[in-house]
Structure formats: C-alpha cells, structure tokens
Amino acid sequence: MLFCIRKLIKLTSSPSRKAHQISGPSGPRATATSFDGAVIIYGVFYIMDSYISDTSFYIVPIFITAFLINVCWEIFHSRLYTTCLTMKGGPLMKLLIKMSFKDAFWISLFYVITVFIFQNIFILNNPLQILLFSILALLFSFIDEGISVRLKRWEYSPKMPIIFGVGVTPLFELAVTGLATFIFIFYLF
C-alpha cells in the first residue's frame, strides 16, 4: 500500500500539477494541490504502517486466544438461552463456534482501535486504554444483544439474569473474555 502512495506522490509532484482553489462563503481560503493531499495520505499510512507492523505480531495470538476463551464462555452460558436448550448437538456447536469467532473478531478489533488511539501495544499497562476497551465492549454488547433479542435470533431462559433488558452474561462477555485474553497474551504467553 505504501508503494502505491509513493507512486501517487511521484505522479502528483510533477511540474504540470495544477493547484485547486478551495472556496468558502467569503471567497478563496486556501490553495491545495493533489500533492498536499498525497502527503497527508502518505503520512497517515506511514503512521498506521508502523503501528500495524508492531500490532500484527499480537493480533493472531489475541484472536486465537479470544476464540478459545469465548468457546468455553459460550458453552457455559448457553444453558441460559432457551434457543440453545432446544437445539441438538451439531447445530448447537456450530452456533457456539460461530458466535465465538464473532466475539474474537470484535475483541481483536477493539484492541486495534485502542492501540491506534493510545499508541500503546501493551494494553494492560494503560488503565485508560483498558477503560476504553471495556466501554467499547460493553456498548457493543449491549446494542448487539438488544438487537438480537428483539429480532428473536435467540431467547433467554428464565435462569438468565437480565439488566437493562439484556442478559448479564452476554453483556459482560466481550469485556471479561477480552481482558482474560490480554492477561494470557501479555503476562502468561
């Protein structure tokens, strides 16, 4: 990708490039060239590339660990869903594995978001980064679970503790399993 950006800069930095007026209600405010835009894009991708190369070392282990931890979580809390209690073994395991992949994806994505914001790979060293991860996980879980229950993707059994209209175990799942994943990866692995 950086090769393409460098090529773009070469093309736009030729002497024949044209400046474009950026106008506002009070007339021309600035003169911009495509070279200026290319420099900004290059800078953004340069910064992202340095963090991605450092972060990518941890993404696969985080995803795999999050998946395995979430499979265990899904198996244990599946008893709290009427939908899971009525399903047979094969389709039930297929559903639990699918949900575990989804959870591992979101944990990995929220981790990457916090790394970009805080410029810190070791999430457990920064309490604000952990807080942001937890807020993202709780907010996403609340919205996703609320939508899923309303659309009847699954139903809770009477044993499911409910808070604000969603189940407690699915609400806290991403935050808890995400933090467990980070503890495993950064302290035990």
What is the tens place of the pLDDT at every residue in 13-39?
444 444 444 444 444 444 444 455 445
Residue 18: inside a domain: no
Residue 122: inside a domain: yes
138-150 pLDDT, tens digit per residue, is 999 999 999 999 9
Q: What is the pTM of this model?
A: 0.72
Residue 64: inside a domain: yes
pLDDT at 66 > cutoff 50: yes
Angle (deg, nearest 10), helices 168-183 and 89-118: 60
Which residue reads 């931890």 in tokens?
A: 69
Pick from 50, 52, 43: nearest CA to 8: 43
82-132 pLDDT, tens digit per residue, is 988 888 888 999 999 999 999 999 999 999 999 999 999 999 999 999 999
Q: What is the pLDDT of residue 189?
A: 75
**Count of the separate structural domains present in the chain:** 1
Domain with 159 in it: 54-188
